[in-house]
Chains A and B, each alone.
Chain A
Amino acid sequence: MDRSQGRTGGIASGSSHEAPTFTRNRALQIEEPLIFEMGQPGRTGVDLPEPPKTRDRLNGLRRAGEIGLPGLSEPQVVQHFTRLSQKNYAIDMGVYPLGSCTMKHNPRINEKVARFAGIGDLHPLQPVSTVQGALELIDRLAHWLKTLTGMPAVAMSPAAGAHGEMCGMMAIAAALEAKGERAQRRTVLAPESAHGTNPATAAALGFTVKPIPANERGRVDLAALKAALGPDVAAIMLTNPNTCGLFESEIVEISTAVHAAGAYFYCDGANFNAIVGRVRPGDLGVDCMHINLHKTFSTPHGGGGPGAGPVVLSAALAPYAPYPWIVKNGDKWVVAEDGAKVEGQPLGRLKAFHGQMGMFTRALAYIMSHGADGLKQVAEDAVLSANYVMASLQETMTPAFDGPCMHEVLFDDSFLKDTGVSTLDFAKAMIDEGYHPMTMYFPLVVHGAMLIEPTESVAKEDLDQFIATLKSLAQRAKSGTEAEAFKAAPLYSPRRRLDETLAARKPILRWRPSNTFKEAAE
């Protein structure tokens, strides 16, 4: 089919809800072209002075032709991106129960302090004498992270959770190398319910990933784990609380067995929000754990980043932490950078400069706002809210495991059996009700998984409304007569279901003058 003709056949239409308007807009829903379809030559959104006259020193390598960027004025730019923003759902608009993502309130004081002159505008390579406050700030956050986790060291530079995993697993590889065991220990154990980043990270480092089974309670099967441990095992990668929203009740036995076998325990800290201020991973025998500052500590997700993924390290792994880190030398803060003579055997460098400073600032503001008392309350309210959702929906939907759960509750799709409604359809119907869907089809160990994480940020009356909505949808689905309506959802969102097969079969990843999209003439 030729997409440039628009309104192609082959896709179920059924858009009777859409009254035709001349503009194709629907009141506040404005159809918005691409910037490349809007520009005019000679228009600009900036006023820059005439450059002073100097000699050209570009070595004859001036760009020959035009770049091809469109010209828009400032009001056009503001309108364009404002209209785009109005096509997004966001935490600021309501419940965002995306399991394992911790979509909690993002306080604006964090944004304000991150932009202070003297913090937000510092260059990473200014002389250290001119950035003493910035180094102190990083050290202060490091202190909080170490104390909250009960771990002696933290590597601050990883840019996000997956990057932190890479850092932690490299530290494990470094520790094995130092012991002369790296060639022998090539296996990493991970449960089948693990985040995809775990096997991806382990495999990138040359480890073979061996799955370990879960028991009927949704936890690691301890006997199977013990059987899998041996002189070939480098580490176990385990999320705790796990991706089914359950605390690994035999975690101490697990870490003891792992250490007895000469292996290390990598903990995926994605779900730290369930236990922050109440349980210290260091007390569970963890060797390293990344902390997603954009989850537990509220730095905004920003449509998919930036994040930050500091990694706390046990005494066994601390000597291998990557450059750079900050130390106090007398009354001065200094940075240990590449090549610095230091104790230990740093594994190298993972990122330019000092890490995600802007995220450090926001996370520290959040942490100081809560304090030790408030963070404990965060974990308690998050766990309370998830259990409240579970208790309220256990007659209507089907929890995958018995409670209590931690900060998120996992349902399977058995309540939808024989209704003709799938997990996907159910989620899309939530969109029409004004909610962002929960995480779907993850973890992979549960059929038609629906993972709901309400977080501590939702008021009880809003939780009640959310619960009532899910009950209503479940009852509609079970009525057996509305499968078609579910399949057609969503109807009221800026776009209806998108053709992902078409997108993947004939990838169009950029705008070209020839593929300007034209709606077919009526």
Chain B
Amino acid sequence: MRYLPLTAADRRDMLSVIGVKSVDELFRDVPQSARLGAKVAGLPDHLGELEVERAFQAYAAKNVSPSVAPFFIGAGAYRHHVPATVDYMIQRGEFLTSYTPYQPEITQGTLQYLFEFQTQVTLLTGMEVANASMYDGSTGASEAVLMANRVTRRAKALLSGGLHPQYRGIIETTAHWQGFKTVSGKADVEGLEDLIAAVDKETSCVVVQNPSFFGHVRDFAKLAEACHAAGALLIVVVTEVVSLGLLKPPGEMGADIVVCEGQSIGNGLGFGGPYVGLFATKEKYMRQMPGRLVGETVDADGKRGFVLTLSTREQHIRREKATSNICTNAGLCALAFTVHLTLLGEAGLTRLAELNHAKAGQLADRLAAVPGVKVVNASFFNEFTVALPKVAAPVVEALAAKRILGGVPVSRLLPGDASVEKLLLLAATETATDGGMDALVAGLKEVL
């Protein structure tokens, strides 16, 4: 077995040093009834590298890769070009095969890039402090609500109807089992929802998304004022982080906590994960944050260095009083984010965001010209909703049969809501081509 260095002779020598005859003796604390005489039944034996590769090629061949099909799917995960440098860098063994930086003397590489990551996140979101990542945006949103409950000592969250339905589902699941209330707005298809009147003295937080699940771009400054007047926090969720290259950051709207799905920068689609959650807040709430934090300090020679800090919030020290049970986070995905964003820089990110917005604008204009298709949004970044003359799900399937990946039927994420069944959510990033848009328009005309 190519991964196992011990030879039969090594094993014999080691057993004799230990003073036992066989490795079975080392398992003598396992109850007799649970000892397997042989290997686990019903599973195949080991394979060479070539055979493993073939097996995965076979899995891949049964899928339609976005690289060979016109592609317009978003809804919380976005297809962007990731520079080759990013993937090279995260595969360096010193990053890839290192653990959580508990020994700062020999993990300054990880600690410094996490400090750079935290700084980048504060700049993008317009917030004061950020942590070293969450699993992803969806779980981060749920952690943000728990944090708001701690800060306000209240237990009712208002969830916008513009919030990604799966994010809402996770918060509701957490609420049910951890014991707090949620009030959810109905699907905000038009982007006209006003939650101000719903904020009261029991509200711990209001959770909104920008751009919303349906693509609308909104200003939440007045909502933030209303929240603060009532002693509640405003949580802004961003699922398309590239939008922050162009849009007014949530911090400038008065957000108290900002959670982003960071996948769009540096991380491929990967069928849904692993992604990287960005989590930022105001300095005064720093000690209520979940997750790891990297801070600057000096070493015994007075040189600048970085360490994990404020660890007393975390489970390994605070145990049942921890701010979260999170331990492992998304370190390597955070590195991919940081490397890509460093390559982009100020000019590159701005240009990338402009390009996304322009491509989506082109797509919207072309779809608006298709008979029977209506673009719902007056505002959007790189994703918008269209109303079709018929139920959307079969249309998407019919497009898929033509190898066109033409968006997400809203009903997939909001099943059972008849008011959304003709709605289709479409995104266009810098990867969209004129040819791809032509194919989508032509395909739609055929199947509608």
A and B directly contacting (CB within 8 A): yes
Known contacts being A57-B377, A206-B179, A368-B47, is A301 close to B98, with CB within 8 Å? yes
- Residues of A2-26 whose CB lies within 8 A of B: 3, 6-8, 11-15, 18
Give B19's nearest chain A residue, CB to CB.
A391
Stretch at the interface among A227-235, A345-353, A413-421, A469-477: A345-353
Q: Does B272 contact A (CB under 8 A)?
A: yes
**CB <8 Å contact, B105 and A504:** no
CA distance A46 to B352 in the complex (A): 10
- Residues of A121-150 whose CB lies within 8 A of B: 121-127, 129-134, 136-137, 144, 147-148
* Contact among B13, B53, B137, B328 for A352, CB-based, below 8 A: B137
Q: Does B418 contact A (CB under 8 A)?
A: no
* Contact among A52, A114, A390, A460 for B362, CB-based, below 8 A: A52
**CB <8 Å contact, B45 and A374:** yes
Within the complex, the shortest CB–CB distance from B83 to chain A, in Å, comes to: 6
Q: Scoring A residues 486 to 522 as 1 if CB is less than 8 Å from chain B, else 0, what string do you get?
A: 0010100111111110111001111100010101100
Chain A residues, Cβ within 8 Å of B300 = 11-15, 488, 496-499
**CB <8 Å contact, B274 and A356:** yes
* Contact among A246, A323, A355 for B273, CB-based, below 8 A: A355
Within the complex, the shortest CB–CB distance from B362 to chain A, in Å, comes to: 6
Within the complex, the shortest CB–CB distance from B59 to chain A, in Å, comes to: 4
**CB <8 Å contact, A428 and B105:** yes
Within the complex, the shortest CB–CB distance from B74 to chain A, in Å, comes to: 8
Stretch at the interface among B120-128, B193-201, B224-232, B440-448: B120-128
**CB <8 Å contact, B116 and A35:** yes
* Contact among A8, A88, A204 for B95, CB-based, below 8 A: A88
Within the complex, the shortest CB–CB distance from B6 to chain A, in Å, comes to: 5
**CB <8 Å contact, B23 and A350:** no
Within the complex, the shortest CB–CB distance from A206 to chain B, in Å, comes to: 5
* Contact among B79, B87, B100, B135 for A163, CB-based, below 8 A: B135
Chain B residues, Cβ within 8 Å of A8 = 298, 302
**CB <8 Å contact, B330 and A113:** no
Give A113's nearest chain B residue, CB to CB.
B56
Q: Does A212 contact B (CB under 8 A)?
A: no
Known contacts being A68-B123, A348-B169, A507-B310, is A109 close to B14, with CB within 8 Å? no
Give B129's nearest chain A residue, CB to CB.
A509
Q: Scoring A residues 385 to 410 as 1 if CB is less than 8 Å from chain B, else 0, what string do you get?
A: 10110111000000000011010000
* Contact among A18, A120, A337, A348 for B415, CB-based, below 8 A: A337
Known contacts being A205-B177, A348-B173, is A357 close to B346, with CB within 8 Å? no
Choose among B67, B178, B300 the residue with the greatest number of A CB atoms under 10 Å from its CB. Answer: B300
Within the complex, the shortest CB–CB distance from B279 to chain A, in Å, comes to: 12
**CB <8 Å contact, A13 and B354:** no
- Residues of B87-112 whose CB lies within 8 A of A: 87-101, 103-110, 112
Within the complex, the shortest CB–CB distance from A289 to chain B, in Å, comes to: 14
**CB <8 Å contact, A67 and B124:** yes
Give A174's nearest chain B residue, CB to CB.
B177
Chain B residues, Cβ within 8 Å of A334 = none
Give B96's nearest chain A residue, CB to CB.
A300
**CB <8 Å contact, B96 and A302:** yes
**CB <8 Å contact, A74 and B343:** yes
Chain A residues, Cβ within 8 Å of B438 = none
Q: Does B322 contact A (CB under 8 A)?
A: yes
* Contact among B99, B292, B321 for A301, CB-based, below 8 A: B99
Known contacts being A338-B166, A352-B76, is A306 close to B273, with CB within 8 Å? yes
**CB <8 Å contact, B345 and A45:** yes
Within the complex, the shortest CB–CB distance from B8 to chain A, in Å, comes to: 11
Within the complex, the shortest CB–CB distance from A377 to chain B, in Å, comes to: 6
Q: Does A28 contact B (CB under 8 A)?
A: no
Q: Does B15 contact A (CB under 8 A)?
A: yes
CA distance A133 to B61 in the complex (A): 7
Within the complex, the shortest CB–CB distance from A269 to chain B, in Å, comes to: 14
Q: Does A447 contact B (CB under 8 A)?
A: no
Chain B residues, Cβ within 8 Å of A338 = 165-166, 169, 413, 415
Q: Scoring B residues 217 to 235 as 1 if CB is less than 8 Å from chain A, else 0, what string do you get?
A: 1110000000000000000
CA distance A275 to B34 in the complex (A): 11
Chain B residues, Cβ within 8 Å of A200 = 315, 318-320, 322, 324-325
Q: Does B246 contact A (CB under 8 A)?
A: yes
Give A53's nearest chain B residue, CB to CB.
B358
**CB <8 Å contact, B108 and A84:** yes
CA distance A309 to B62 in the complex (A): 26
Chain A residues, Cβ within 8 Å of B118 = 509-510
Q: Scoring B residues 71 to 92 as 1 if CB is less than 8 Å from chain A, else 0, what string do you get?
A: 1010111010001010111111
- Residues of B204-223 whose CB lies within 8 A of A: 216-219
Q: Scoring A residues 455 to 484 as 1 if CB is less than 8 Å from chain B, else 0, what string do you get?
A: 011111010000000000000000000000
**CB <8 Å contact, A45 and B83:** yes
**CB <8 Å contact, B60 and A204:** no
**CB <8 Å contact, B75 and A67:** no
Q: Does B185 contact A (CB under 8 A)?
A: no
**CB <8 Å contact, A376 and B40:** yes
**CB <8 Å contact, B297 and A133:** no
**CB <8 Å contact, B66 and A137:** no
Chain B residues, Cβ within 8 Å of A353 = 76-77, 166, 271-273
Give B417's nearest chain A residue, CB to CB.
A339
Choose among B51, B73, B320, B413 the residue with the greatest number of A CB atoms under 10 Å from its CB. Answer: B320
- Residues of A300-344 whose CB lies within 8 A of B: 300-308, 322-323, 337-340
Q: Does B192 contact A (CB under 8 A)?
A: no
Choose among A71, A120, A353, A437 the residue with the greatest number of B CB atoms under 10 Å from its CB. Answer: A353
**CB <8 Å contact, A388 and B60:** no
* Contact among B43, B68, B176, B177 for A372, CB-based, below 8 A: B43
Chain A residues, Cβ within 8 Å of B130 = 509-510
Chain B residues, Cβ within 8 Å of A507 = 286, 293, 295, 309-310
Give B305's nearest chain A residue, CB to CB.
A495
Chain A residues, Cβ within 8 Å of B88 = 78
CA distance A349 to B345 in the complex (A): 36
**17 A–B contacts, CB within 8 A, in A order:** A67-B346, A77-B85, A81-B92, A121-B66, A122-B66, A125-B412, A134-B271, A136-B62, A200-B322, A292-B328, A302-B90, A350-B139, A350-B173, A374-B45, A436-B106, A460-B6, A509-B309
Which 5 A-B pairs rank lowest in CB-CB distance, beginning with the nearest? A302-B332, A348-B173, A353-B272, A133-B62, A92-B93
Further contacts, 5 of them, CB under 8 A, given A68-B346, A277-B40, A387-B26: A61-B219, A122-B269, A127-B397, A355-B272, A509-B286
